[in-house]
Structure 1
Amino acid sequence: MDVEQSAGTLASPDIADKDKKPIDPSLDEERSIEHGENDLLGGENVDAVLAAKMGLVNDAIDEIGFTPHHWKLFCLNGFGYAVDSLILLIQSIISTQARKEFRPSYATGLTIAVYVGMLIGAIFWGFSADVIGRRFAFNVSLFVSAVFTVVAGAAPSWITLGLFVCLSAFGAGGNLVLDTTVFLEYLPSQNQWLLTLMAAWWGLGQLIAGLFAWAFLPNFSCDDAATCTRANNQGWRYVWYASGAFVFVLSILRITIIRLQETPKFLIAEGKDADAVRVLQSIASRYNRPCSLTLERLETCGPSRTHKTDAAGLTQRLISPKEVGFHLKGLYATRKMGLSTSLVWFSWLLIGLAYPLYNVFLPTYLESRGAKVGESSQYITWRDYAINNTCSIFGPILAGLMCRSRWFWGRRGTMIIGALVTMVFFFCYTQVRTASQNLGFTAAISFCLNIYYGTLYAYTPEVFPSSHRGTGNGVAIGLNRIMGIISAVVADAANTNTPVPIYICAALYIVMAVVSAVLPFEPYGRRSS
């Protein structure tokens, strides 16, 4: 029997072997009552057997409830958020001083390098999450990033610095894909709002980058490019060394605090029902929680069909064009899912242009605005930078609370509010004339922008089916990185000292609000697949 199945093909009883028990229609009816209305994608009849098994897994996760295991995952996956933002911002922080030392011909080379690394990392780790599994990237990616972050501090030239920045970003770039996926696939449905709250780690990574800059750049940097040498310009290298050490510590904590097992939903999608039961029973036993899920209950749903088993019964675990095509097709299995996937990816394109134009080049904005109001000290510049990033931590916290409440219309309403309020502050920012106004408005923008951004990070994995979640996430983050590369080219060609980029960003946030309003799925009160 051909075990390869299109993502759009409905499972039916006649696919079972004669010696296997067919799906009981009464059980289907019972499952549709229990899971159909509550599961977010329950109405998208793609694979009845897989949907039924995912419903049972969701029941088991809800039955176990929230445990200390989930708090560990919240922190350990949050490390990936922090590292992604840390690596993304370091290159913009140190770029000015590194250019004085190396005198490159292309000023935004580091920005392009970091986004290329992030792009390749998102695609690689994203596809591998659906093919190889979530565990490998969780254990390895931060270590890869840590090694090259340290090495970047010793770069002898602008080109080698760009290479190591790119490699460091490759390791960090998969974390936004995997962190949300791993955490979500262990979360009880009533706690899915924590996925939005986890984006606070992103702001923490920005804060740490700002604190390293505040500590080293004012005291260990040259002023004049004509006399700038490695000996009198060690500050930017110290920033890389400190950041690399920090990421290395986080990578060690990931593999020592918890020994991550593959998520139950990934195992179910792979046809490994027994392993999924074992993982859930293990968590329940460790924390003395009930778990009524058994292998027999899963087998009652019928045989799982997987596209990865060849004629000899061997599992194929390679990233091939056929494998990639299968997962991409699965994201468009129904018209509603296809519309959702397209709009989510379009949202990432928009934020991918708006966010770097404002945030990656924020040091330029701060420096130019500071000069106009009489603030030319590096100490003041990086102090304000740290304050702004502190404010960004609290945006996702508020977003998480808003996502919990029906008063804000769930995830979509939270994104609409976040985008529109950010747009207002962008327009107001063009009227800044004093140092205090500059600090106040940039802090407000950092706070409000992360309401939208943090919610989008959480919404994206929630609306993708588990079997293709890594691919959907990877493409979304990859599109975001492509726009980051484009924004670097635009910023190099345009005058970033004018308010024009701010007007562009404000207009993009209006479009984001409109897209959020027409998204077809609302995860509030529903369970992810």
Structure 2
Amino acid sequence: MDEKPTLATTGGPLATHEKNFSTPSDRDVEGETIPDDASLGKGDILQLESIDPVLNAKMHLVNNAIDEIGFTRYQWKLFVLNGFGYAVDSLILLIQSIIAGQAAIEFRPGYKNGLTIAAYVGMLSGALFWGLTADIVGRKFAFNCSLVVCSIFAIVAGASPNWEVLGLFVALSAFGGGGNLVLDTAVFLEFLPGSRQWMLTLMAAWWGVGQLIAGFFAWAFIPNYSCPDPVLIPAAGPCTRASNMGWRYVWFASGSLVFVMSILRITVIRLKETPKFLVSEGKDAECVETLQSIAQKYNRPCSLTFEKLTACGAIKVTREGKSKWSLGEVFMHLRGLFSTRRIAISTSLIWLSWVLIGLAYPLYNVFLPQYLASRGAKFGQTSAYITWRNYTLANFSGIWGPVLAGWMCQTRLGRKYTMVVGALVTCVFFFAYTQVRTEAQNIAFTCVVNFCLNIYYGTLYAYTPEVLPSAHRGTGNGMAVSGNRVMGILSAVIATAAGTGTAVPIYICAALYVVMAAIAALFPFEPYGRRSS
């Protein structure tokens, strides 16, 4: 009878490297050399944490193969088209806030913050649904479908006949866009060589690009195709659909752009299922085929074979229930995020960080205008040109925070202390912002805060999938982002009821960044010099 080979004798991480790789298994992983005979835990972030040593060994081999292939045009395509998924998330959130005022003049709603809540509800449900789908069905299906869903409902939103229908389509569009944020990082990460994982932080710069796109569309359409606000111009006539098409044009243009990008995702990338998902599902042959096809297309070496993977043994692929969509299957992925003590601590602290940033930043924006007004700040009546100019400057500044963070992540600061620096500097400028009294000071501090905040935010976006187990990465990422969305809903409710100029909420929100910095320092895993598992 044939015995199943064990890790000690058949190609586990200590034995699989036979010095026949061309170079990349020896390459630096973000400045740290990982030799061919690297011991368990030296090269991969979670390699000593998993309860399945066979899956550990196979992930190690897959990481070696990805490093061996290196960075190709395929990853560049992913960087651009996955990055646009980041942009879509910010695009949808900002568009609903940009057009809400003009749509409200036309529809006269009873609850003016309804669109904000609708957008966050859609983002929340999208993060949970598409995150689970990515772990249960696969990254490829969710990746190809979510943007299409977002684009269709964004276009339809522009034809809404009333406030309630508009809220529905905003929620449905956000449902597609919110799932993208979960998928973009996971898919990109699972094709990245270890030496390029810092690019996951850099990809957050696309968030600011989405904000810029929203601002340009608003600048182009709203000032030229909108009803006057009767609050500012009491003599203004009734606001009809024909005289108030600007906000609808914003939706049409945005939805059309997202639709084009969703088609490009399918036709340009032609995404293959990620090798790490395939391995976690026990599909070794498909994993090898995917990596070998990329290597062949871009004329790169790849020494991974089906025999090397199967020599590690068979992983435990269990199904909880009769269907992939059963509650047992969902709970199985949730349990996987707490499979060891360190992973449980890591997951809990990451989720807490997302909740805190989701509460602190929106609430600060809710209370700040009232507080500044109560302290005598005078920004004056600005023209539409000045308004959208300032908006563009602020969003342009936000693009460069992740760029700096990407560089910082490659230094000895690593991911954890890049987040610590970003959070503390943001806190300082949040406190300083309370002293703003003029328009020039206002725009200057807005730009600086956007820049500093995105150092923290962009790194957190990248850190989250990096330290989550691959088999449960979509679920963990989706839960993290959904906690952020819950706080966004809460901030919109508070914005409706808030009517105070006290400084207390401002200082509480700013102080939360000190808490976030402390949490970042306590994260148990540092991805610098390591590869995602």
Query: Under a length normalisation based on structure 2, what TM-score does the superposition of the two structures give?
Result: 0.90
In 2: Cα distance, 1:123 partner to 1:270 partner: 21
Contact kept in structure 2, 1:203 and 1:393, CA below 8 Å: yes
> 1:425 aligned to 2:436?
no
Which residue does 2:80 correspond to in 1? 75
Task: Work out whether 1:165 is the aligned partner of 2:200.
Answer: no
Say if 1:92 and 1:361, in contact at 8 Å, map to a contact too.
no
Q: 1:495 offset after TM fit, Å?
A: 3.2
Residue 158 to residue 368, structure 1, CA distance change in 2 (3 Å): farther
Shift in Å at residue 380 of structure 1? Answer: 1.4
CA-to-partner distance for each residue in 1:443-502, whole Å, 9 max, x for gaps?
A: 001111100000000000001010000110010011111111111101111138776654
Measured in 2, the distance between the counterparts of 1:298 and 1:257 equals: 30
Matching residue's letter, 2:288: V
Matched, 1:373 2:379: yes
Shift of the 360–490 alpha-carbon distance from structure 1 to 2, 3 Å rule, reads: closer
2:44 alignment partner in structure 1: 39
Report the more deviating stretch, 423-432 or 187-196. Answer: 423-432
SS in 1 for 2:270: coil
1:57-206 paired onto structure 2 within 5 Å: 57-206=62-211
Q: Distance in 1 between matches of 2:383 and 2:449?
A: 23
> What are the within-5 Å matches in structure 2 for residues 385-464 of structure 1?
385-406=391-412, 409-464=413-468
Q: What is the identity, as a one-letter code, of the residue corresponding to 1:303?
A: A
| The one of 367, 372, 389 aligned to 1:383 | 389
Identify which of 329, 342, 348 aligns with 1:336. Answer: 342
Deviation at 1:324, TM superposition (A): 0.6
* 1:20 CA drift (Å): 4.8
In structure 2, what is the Cα distance between the partners aligned to 1:35 and 1:76? 34
Evaluate the alpha carbon distance shift between residue 328 and residue 497 of structure 1 in structure 2; reply closer, same or farther with a 3 A threshold: same
Letter in 1 for 2:386: I
Residue identity opposite 1:60 in structure 2: A
In structure 2, the CA distance between the partners of 1:465 and 1:498, relative to structure 1 (3 Å rule), is: same
Contact 1:395/1:449 (CA < 8 Å) preserved in 2? Answer: yes
Contact 1:367 1:381 in 2 (8 A): no
- Which amino acid letter does the alignment assign opposite residue 324 of structure 2? L
**Is the contact between residue 130 and residue 467 of structure 1 (CA under 8 Å) also seen in structure 2?**
yes
**In 2 relative to 1, CA 309–504 (structure 1 residues): closer, same or farther, beyond 3 Å?**
closer
The aligned residue for residue 493 of structure 1 is 497
Aligned to 2:357: 351
Matches of 2:530 and 2:495, distance apart in 1? 41
In structure 2, how many angstroms separate the alpha carbons of the residues matched to 1:139 and 1:336? Answer: 34
- Summarize the alignment of residues 220-235 of structure 1 with structure 2, pairs less than 5 Å apart: 220-225=225-230, 227-235=238-246
Q: Unaligned stretches of 5+ in structure 1?
A: 1-17, 311-315
Cα distance in 2 for residues equivalent to 1:469 and 1:500: 38
Change (3 A) 1:496 1:164: farther
Q: Which moved more, 1:133-142 or 1:96-105?
A: 96-105
Match of 1:256 in 2: 267
Q: Residue 95 of structure 1: CA displacement?
A: 1.1
Offset from partner CA, 1:396-423 (integer Å, 9 cap, x none): 00000000111xx200100010011111
Matched ranges for 1:219-368 at <5 A:
219-225=224-230, 227-308=238-319, 318-358=324-364
Contact 1:370 1:376 in 2 (8 A): no
Gaps spanning 5+ residues in structure 2: where?
16-36, 231-236
Paired residues of 1:214 and 1:386 also in contact (CA < 8 A): no
Helix, strand or coil: the match of 1:78? helix
**8 Å Cα contact 2:63/2:193 also seen in 1:** yes
Specify the SS of the correspondent of 1:520.
coil
Shift, 1:433, TM fit: 1.2
Q: Offset at 1:34? A: 3.7
Given candidates 18, 21, 33, the residue that maps to 2:4 is 21
How has the CA–CA distance of structure 1 residues 369 and 65 changed in structure 2, closer, same or farther, with 3 Å as cutoff? Answer: farther
Q: Deviations over 1:58-93 (max 9, x none)?
A: 000001111111100111111110001100111111
Deviates more, 1:498-507 or 1:224-233: 498-507
Partners of 2:116 and 2:90 in 1: how far apart?
A: 13
Q: Tell me: CA distance 1:446–1:253, structure 2 relative to 1, closer, same or farther (3 Å).
A: same
- Judged with a 3 Å threshold, the aligned counterparts in structure 2 of structure 1 residues 223 and 208 are, in CA distance, closer, same or farther, namely same
Q: Distance in 2 between matches of 1:422 and 1:500?
A: 18
Per-residue deviation at 1:503?
A: 3.0
Aligned residues: 505
1:66 to 1:29, Cα distance in 2 relative to 1, 3 A: closer
**What amino acid is aligned across from residue 381 of structure 1 in structure 2?**
T
* Matching of residue 30 in structure 1 with residue 22 in structure 2: no
Q: Return the letter of the residue paired with 2:198.
A: W
Within 1, Cα distance between the matches of 2:150 and 2:49? 39
Counterparts of 1:124 and 1:223 in 2: how far apart (Å)?
Answer: 40
- CA-to-aligned-CA distance 1:23-51 (integer Å, 9 cap, x gap): 14245471684442221011214100000
| Aligned-pair CA distance for 1:319 | 1.8
Say whether the 8 Å CA contact 2:367–2:501 is kept in structure 1: no
| SS of alignment partner, residue 36 of structure 1 | coil
Between the aligned residues of both structures, percent identity stands at 66
Please tell me the residue identity of whatever aligns with 1:30: L
Give the partner amino acid of 1:51: N
- Cα distance in 1 for partners of 2:371, 2:396 equals 18
**2: distance between equivalents of 1:361 and 1:77?**
34
The 1:362–1:473 alpha-carbon spacing in structure 2 relative to 1, beyond 3 Å, is farther
| Superposition map of 1:498-509 within 5 A | 502-509=506-513
CA deviation after TM superposition for structure 1 residue 166, in Å:
0.3
Q: Which amino acid aligns with 1:294?
A: T
Please give the alpha-carbon distance, in whole angstroms, between the structure 2 residues aligned to 1:134 and 1:317: 18
> How well do the aligned residues superpose, as a CA RMSD in angstroms?
2.3
* 1:486 maps to amino acid: L
* C-alpha distance in 2 between matches for 1:317 and 1:404: 43
2:320 and 2:328 in contact (8 A); partners too? no
Query: In structure 2, do the counterparts of structure 1 residues 45 and 473 end up closer, same or farther at CA, with 3 Å as the change threshold?
Result: closer
1:113–1:165 Cα contact (<8 Å) kept: yes
Name the SS of the counterpart of 1:433 in structure 2: coil
The question of whether the paired residues in 1 share the 8 Å contact of 2:372 and 2:434 is answered with no
Aligned counterpart, 1:5: none
Q: Is the 8 A contact 1:35 1:42 kept in 2?
A: yes
Q: Secondary structure of the equivalent of 1:219?
A: coil
Helix, strand or coil for the counterpart of 1:227?
coil
Superposed displacement of residue 346, structure 1: 0.3
Q: 1:24 to 1:464 in 2, by over 3 A?
A: closer
User: 2 CA distance for matches of 1:365 and 1:242?
Assistant: 36
Tell me how far 1:210 sits from its aligned partner.
1.1
Other-structure match for 1:12: none
**SS of the residue 1:507 aligns to:** helix
